[in-house]
Every structure is written in structure tokens, then in C-alpha cells.
């Protein structure tokens, strides 16, 4: 097969491929040469040069470097593999505590006798089996290890047999590369010949990175962690996997970074499973149509741009127009509705993230929420993978636990900027607004992962609320138009409305929901019907009325209606309405029942009337909630409650009596 014999191996040739062997110094020279010869034979190396370097840090055994690969038969390497194995399987030991199911939340792990039932013990047995396997794989004296003193005493035939056995095992082979250059969080690496796109690369300092640019002779690695430890000349190796994050119930109530590491100081995250951050979106047959509403508690949204479970609705607007407020209110409104929320903060100040987490915790919403945070001070790579890993966390709940999940990406403009930074550092050609050409694909592959799953797959959904910040009201900029075209509708917030006190500052004319209507409750649909038209008419008339001439009665009525509706749609933060309250309010607002009021009193009237009705006619709300429709009977009930309440209201507010 090969012309290499132990004889010519003893006299290393000056020509040929370099075989570099690092040894701890415990191996006799003749054995080393024998091993090298055997190695050359195994890999069919016709001629080679042998270079032997002492390296006491290996403890025992040796490492062969050949053609960019590392063949590690050292004690150090073996310990590393055992520790990696244990780390990999360690997650399983959490299975016992992580069987916590949302529906049977209060089921204790131990039974009355204080014992863990057999069904729960299953996972403990698994771990034990794994450890046995690990020990069988890496025993001290047997197996393919070539690092013990006893080995050097063996006769040649037996020694060759053992070496051959070890060489046949692929366990010890790593594909390693060398860092050629590193700057601004991007390392250029040579030697990783078979590297895959998006593969996780580990550096010898422990730093990690993602292989993003594959070129003929080099790979561009974007560094995720330990950026400052990576230096030129350092070695790195392939891991054969992509980036994965821990997923499962253990993440609920936690604040984690995009790699799933806790940053809330509450100790380690308990997890069962990991998921790759990038995974394909469900196909057409895996989905069902959007048909269940996701109640935001914000009247303007639930009535005019309803959101269904599995929908993607964009929240778009200038800075400081209440974008985050809408998303947070929506999360708060999911309390007790068996919906899991994931909030992804990308490129925000750490102080903002902390106050959001504290707010959710104070309002009791953190129990069903996961916060994934990549702050402005995190590397661009971390900000880039944040929404993808959050989506992986959400997917676990959808695919495996069949939950409805709400995910908020706050915000995708900063995400696109982080991606632009990475792309420019990788020297990819810049396109419009200096974004790379695939920035559309970046967001479409992310948002396509939201879906409502079919019955066959067990249901479950991911509803996405991506947020995009515009500059100077410009929704025709690159990122806004991209994301508008990917999503199923947008809620457009305008700074003019916000500063004129119309909050939430939803611009009703520019906001749409393309699929949510199908999911809207019948009762809401009925009262919301006249709403959009009335608001549009009022807007048109209001612009005429600015000319100040006398207005006919019909015009005045339309303007008044608009005023009432706009007042009714105003809503403070953290003051969600229930579905039945929304129906109730919109019914009285669209039937001219509040036209007699001055603008300033409308809100007070609404609040007082709702409170009063809860006290005196609770059945109205209960019936709307139960039946989901606005029957004639309910309308009559509301009408009579209204007459009754109005009478009392007028008694208290004498200023209206004179006008009447």
C-alpha cells in the first residue's frame, strides 16, 4: 500500500509532508517513530518529515498535526472529551425538575411519601446510562487511548495492533485552523477546509464564533463570545454544529442573553433541550389559517387592526411614540390566558431592559415570559443572533408543548443595523442604505417562522410583533418597506398624534391587519364596522371645518362623532380593557350616546359608566364574554343601563342640565 516502513521512518526524510507530533515527554523515541510510521500508513502518506515537540501540558500521550487536522491521543485531550461529554449530557439531569407543565402547575415532583415517582425517575436512569457510556468510551486503560506507560512495554505486533485500533477511531480527530487576522470582532481563519456555513467555531482561548463567510482558502468568523481573547496565530476548531440555545420551561421568568446564558443573577437556567437558532419555517401543509384572536386589551388595535394567533403584525413609528408600550401592554394582557410571551430586546440600553424586566415582574407577567436581551453594548454578532435564538425558544413551546406564543422583536431596525455592521466587516458588498443584499432574507426567514400549526401537529402558534423604528416618519425607507411587505399588517404610530395627546398614537388610516379580521370575535366585529368609516369621515370633515364657515348639522354630527371616537380610543398605559368592555364602550360610542358631552368629559363618562355597569349590570359583560356576540337583547340592556346612568350623571353635572 505504501512505501513507508519503520526503517525509513527512523531516518526522517527532509522532503515530504510535515508530521508534527507534540508529546508530553513520556514516550520512548522508537515508539513515537513507530506510531508515526503507522499513522503514515493509515492515511496513505507516501513520504513525510517528522517533527517532535515536547509539550508537558499534555500530561501524557501525544498529538499529531497533519494537513490542518489534529489527532489528539493525549491525556489532556481525553479529559477534555470526557468533560465535553458530561457537559453535553448534564442538561438531562434537569429533566426531573423540568417536567413542570403549565397546565398542571401545582403538581409536586415528590409524592406524599416524599419519593420521586418512577415516571419522573426515568430521566435519572437515562443520565446514569449516559455516564456509564461515557466511562465505557473513555476508560483509563482500555479503548483507543495511547497514553499509558504500560503501552510502551508491549511487543511490536501487539503495539501495532493497538495503534491501528486507535487510529481507526474518528473520535480524536479535529479539524483545526489558525487565526490569520482579527479586527472588530471578525476573525479571518485559514485551515478549516470543510467548514460549513453558520458553523460554530471554538477558539483555543474558549472564545466562540460563527463561520459566516466561506471563501476558497479562508473563513470569516464573526466572534460571539470572548472577543478580546482572540489573537493572531491562535488555533481554532470546527464543532460540527450550528449555534444552539437552551429551550424549555426553565427559561420562563428569566432574562437570558442570545446564547441562553442567564443575566438576571438568578442562577443557572434549567433546561431539557437545546434547539439550533436557525431552523426552517413550517411548510404550507403544516399550518392552519389564523382563526383565534390574540386580545391586546387596546381598543384601537382589537377593533381596527385585530391580531390573530399566528399572525405577524408590525408596530412601526418614530422614536418615542409608544411602540414598546403597545407591545408590553399586549404582554401584560396575556396574564391568565395560557399564552407564553418572549420579549427580545435588541440594541437597547441595559437600563431600559432592566426596567422592562422589573415592570413585567411587578405586574406578575414575568412568570409566563422569557426575556432575551442583547444590549447596545453587546457585540453586533450577539445582536444579530438574538431574534433567531428567541424564536428558537418560542418554537420549543409551539412545536413540543403546543402552546400559543407571543414574540416581540424590539426592534428590527437595530437588528438590521447590527447585521449591516457584520456584513461590512466581512467585506460583503453594500447595497441600498449600505445594507447587504440579503437583509430582506434576514427578516423574512425570521418572521416566516411564526405560524399557526395545523391540528395534526397538535396546534400551537407563534404570533410575532416585530417593531421597526422610522426616521422622520419615513415608512418608505429600506427596512420599513421590507418588513411591511413581509408582515400581515402594520400598526403605524405617528408622532403628531402622540404629542397632541392621542395615545396610543395609532394612525388609523395607515394601519391595517390583513388576516386578523378572520379571527375577530363577532361582537367586536359588529361594533368595529362603523368605526373606521366614522373616523375617516370625521377626519375629512375636520379639515374642511378649519375654514371656519358655518357648518351644516350633518357635518357637525360627523365631526362630533369623530371627537367621541378618538376620545374613546385614547388609553393610558397598563389600562387594558377586556373584550366585553371594548364591545360595550364601542357600542355606546358608535350609537351617538355620548355626543352631548364636552370633549374633556368623554373619558370620565366612559370610565364611570363601565364601573357602574360592573356594579349594577354585571350580566351584560358576562353575556358578551360567554356568547361572543352582540345580540339585540344585550343592546337593549345596555340602552336601559345607559338611560339610568345618564340620568344620574346629569344630576351630578349641573352644567349639562342648562344646555338640555
Instruction: Give me the residues that bind Mg ion (CB under 5 A), please.
Output: 324
Give the C-alpha separation, 627 to 648, whole Å: 30
Q: Could you tell me if 341 and 405 are in contact, meaning their C-beta atoms sit under 8 angstroms apart?
A: yes
375 vs 423, which CB is nearer to Mg ion?
375
The option from ligand ATP, Mg ion, none interacting with 572 (CB < 5 to 8 A, set by class) reads ligand ATP
346 vs 453, which CB is nearer to Mg ion?
346
147 vs 411, which CB is nearer to ligand ATP?
411
Active-site choice (514, 532, 539, 648): 514
Largest Cα separation within the chain, whole Å, is 119
The option from ligand ATP, Mg ion, none interacting with 504 (CB < 5 to 8 A, set by class) reads ligand ATP
Give the C-alpha separation, 383 to 596, whole Å: 53
**Which set of grid coordinates corresponds to residue 83?**
468533560
Give the C-alpha separation, 264 to 372, whole Å: 11
118 vs 600, which CB is nearer to ligand ATP?
600
- Nearest distance from C-beta of residue 467 to Mg ion, angstroms: 7
- The phi and psi torsions of 518 (rounded to 5 degrees) equal -65, -20
The option from ligand ATP, Mg ion, none interacting with 469 (CB < 5 to 8 A, set by class) reads ligand ATP
**Which set of grid coordinates corresponds to residue 307?**
391580531
326 vs 597, which CB is nearer to ligand ATP?
326
The option from ligand ATP, Mg ion, none interacting with 169 (CB < 5 to 8 A, set by class) reads none
- Nearest distance from C-beta of residue 295 to ligand ATP, angstroms: 17
- Nearest distance from C-beta of residue 320 to Mg ion, angstroms: 8
- Nearest distance from C-beta of residue 334 to Mg ion, angstroms: 19
Q: Could you tell me if 447 and 482 are in contact, meaning their C-beta atoms sit under 8 angstroms apart?
A: no
**Residue ranges in contact with ligand ATP by CB under 6 A:** 317, 319-325, 469, 503-504, 571-573
229 vs 320, which CB is nearer to ligand ATP?
320
**Which set of grid coordinates corresponds to residue 145?**
487511548
- Nearest distance from C-beta of residue 322 to ligand ATP, angstroms: 3
Give the C-alpha separation, 131 to 146, whole Å: 22
Per residue, the 3-state secondary structure of 57-123, as one string, reads: HHCCEEEEEECCEEEEEEHHHHHHHHHHHHHHHHHHHHCCHHHCCCCCCCCCCCCCCCCCCHHHHHH
Give the C-alpha separation, 433 to 435, whole Å: 5
3-state DSSP assignment of residue 659: helix
The option from Mg ion, ligand ATP, none interacting with 423 (CB < 5 to 8 A, set by class) reads none
208 vs 305, which CB is nearer to ligand ATP?
305
The option from ligand ATP, Mg ion, none interacting with 573 (CB < 5 to 8 A, set by class) reads ligand ATP
- Nearest distance from C-beta of residue 616 to Mg ion, angstroms: 40
Specify the length of the chain in residues: 660
161 is catalytic: no
Beta bridge partners of 225: 208
Taken in order 70, 73, 75, 77, the sign of the CA dihedral is positive
3-state DSSP assignment of residue 439: helix
325 vs 586, which CB is nearer to ligand ATP?
325
Cα angle at 189 between 187 and 195, to 5 degrees? 115
- Nearest distance from C-beta of residue 321 to ligand ATP, angstroms: 5
The option from Mg ion, ligand ATP, none interacting with 402 (CB < 5 to 8 A, set by class) reads none
496 half-sphere exposure, CB direction, 13 A CA radius: 4
The option from ligand ATP, Mg ion, none interacting with 413 (CB < 5 to 8 A, set by class) reads none
- Nearest distance from C-beta of residue 320 to ligand ATP, angstroms: 4
Please choose, from the candidates 316, 338, 337, the residue with its C-alpha nearest in 3D space to the C-alpha of residue 327. 316
Give the C-alpha separation, 107 to 226, whole Å: 41
Catalytic residues: 514
Amino acid at each position: 500500500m505504501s512505501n513507508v516502513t519503520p526503517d525509513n521512518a527512523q531516518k526522517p526524510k527532509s522532503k515530504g509532508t510535515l508530521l508534527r507530533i507534540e508529546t508530553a515527554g513520556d514516550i520512548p523515541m522508537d515508539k513515537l517513530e513507530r506510531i508515526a510510521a503507522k499513522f503514515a500508513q493509515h492515511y496513505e502518506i507516501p513520504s513525510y518529515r517528522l517533527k517532535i515537540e515536547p509539550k508537558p501540558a499534555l500530561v501524557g500521550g501525544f498529538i499529531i498535526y497533519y494537513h490542518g487536522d489534529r489527532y489528539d491521543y493525549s491525556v489532556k485531550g481525553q479529559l477534555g472529551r470526557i468533560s465535553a461529554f458530561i457537559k453535553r449530557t448534564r442538561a438531562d439531569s434537569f429533566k426531573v425538575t423540568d417536567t413542570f407543565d403549565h397546565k398542571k402547575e401545582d403538581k409536586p415532583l415528590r409524592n406524599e411519601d416524599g419519593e420521586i415517582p418512577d415516571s419522573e425517575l426515568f430521566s435519572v436512569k437515562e443520565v446514569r446510562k449516559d455516564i456509564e457510556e461515557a466511562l465505557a468510551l473513555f476508560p483509563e486503560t482500555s479503548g483507543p487511548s495511547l497514553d499509558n506507560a504500560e503501552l510502551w512495554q508491549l511487543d511490536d505486533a501487539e503495539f501495532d495492533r493497538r495503534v491501528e485500533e486507535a487510529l481507526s477511531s474518528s473520535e480524536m480527530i479535529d479539524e483545526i485552523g489558525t487565526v490569520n487576522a482579527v479586527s472588530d470582532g471578525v476573525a479571518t481563519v485559514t485551515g478549516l477546509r470543510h467548514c460549513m456555513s453558520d458553523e460554530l467555531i471554538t477558539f483555543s482561548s474558549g472564545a466562540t464564533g460563527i463561520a459566516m463567510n466561506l471563501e476558497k482558502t479562508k473563513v470569516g468568523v464573526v466572534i460571539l463570545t470572548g472577543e478580546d481573547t482572540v489573537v493572531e496565530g491562535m488555533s481554532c476548531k470546527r464543532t460540527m454544529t450550528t449555534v444552539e440555545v437552551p429551550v424549555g420551561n426553565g427559561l420562563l421568568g428569566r432574562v437570558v442573553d442570545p446564547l441562553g446564558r442567564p443575566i438576571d443573577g438568578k442562577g443557572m437556567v434549567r433546561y431539557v433541550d437545546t434547539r439550533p437558532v436557525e431552523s426552517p419555517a413550517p411548510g404550507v401543509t403544516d399550518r392552519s389559517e389564523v382563526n383565534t384572536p390574540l386580545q391586546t386589551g387596546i381598543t384601537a388595535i382589537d377593533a381596527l387592526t385585530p391580531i390573530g394567533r399566528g399572525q405577524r403584525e408590525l408596530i412601526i413609528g418614530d422614536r418615542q411614540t409608544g411602540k414598546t408600550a403597545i407591545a408590553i401592554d399586549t404582554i401584560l394582557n396575556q396574564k391568565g390566558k395560557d399564552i407564553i410571551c418572549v420579549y427580545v430586546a435588541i440594541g437597547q440600553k441595559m437600563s431600559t431592559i432592566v426596567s422592562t424586566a422589573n415592570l413585567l415582574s411587578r405586574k406578575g407577567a414575568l412568570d409566563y415570559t422569557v426575556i432575551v436581551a442583547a444590549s447596545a453594548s453587546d457585540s453586533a454578532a450577539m445582536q444579530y443572533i438574538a431574534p433567531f435564538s428567541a424564536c428558537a425558544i418560542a418554537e420549543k413551546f409551539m412545536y413540543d408543548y403546543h402552546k400559543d406564543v407571543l414574540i416581540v422583536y424590539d426592534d428590527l431596525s437595530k437588528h438590521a443595523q447590527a447585521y449591516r455592521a457584520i456584513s461590512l466587516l466581512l467585506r460583503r458588498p453594500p447595497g441600498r442604505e449600505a445594507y447587504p443584499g440579503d437583509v430582506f432574507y434576514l427578516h423574512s426567514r425570521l418572521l416566516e417562522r411564526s405560524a399557526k400549526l395545523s391540528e395534526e401537529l397538535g396546534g400551537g402558534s407563534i404570533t410575532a410583533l416585530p417593531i421597526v423604528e422610522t426616521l422622520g416618519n419615513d415608512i418608505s425607507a429600506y427596512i420599513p418597506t421590507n418588513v411591511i411587505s413581509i408582515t400581515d399588517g402594520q400598526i403605524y404610530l405617528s408622532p403628531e398624534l402622540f404629542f397632541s395627546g392621542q395615545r396610543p398614537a395609532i394612525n388609523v388610516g395607515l394601519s391595517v391587519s390583513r388576516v386578523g379580521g378572520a379571527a375577530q370575535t363577532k361582537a367586536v366585529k359588529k361594533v368595529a364596522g362603523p368605526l373606521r368609516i366614522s373616523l375617516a369621515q370625521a377626519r375629512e370633515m375636520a379639515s374642511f371645518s378649519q375654514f371656519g364657515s358655518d357648518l351644516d348639522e350633518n357635518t357637525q354630527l360627523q365631526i362630533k362623532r369623530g371627537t367621541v371616537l378618538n376620545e374613546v380610543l385614547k388609553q393610558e398605559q397598563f389600562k387594558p380593557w377586556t373584550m366585553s368592555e371594548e364591545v360595550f364602550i364601542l357600542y355606546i360610542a358608535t350609537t351617538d350616546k355620548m355626543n352631548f358631552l364636552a370633549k374633556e368629559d368623554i373619558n370620565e363618562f366612559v370610565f364611570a359608566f363601565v364601573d357602574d355597569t360592573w356594579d349594577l349590570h354585571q350580566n351584560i359583560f358576562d353575556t358578551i364574554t360567554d356568547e361572543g356576540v352582540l345580540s339585540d337583547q344585550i343592546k337593549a340592556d345596555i340602552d336601559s343601563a345607559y338611560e339610568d346612568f345618564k340620568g344620574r350623571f346629569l344630576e351630578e353635572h349641573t352644567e349639562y342640565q342648562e344646555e338640555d
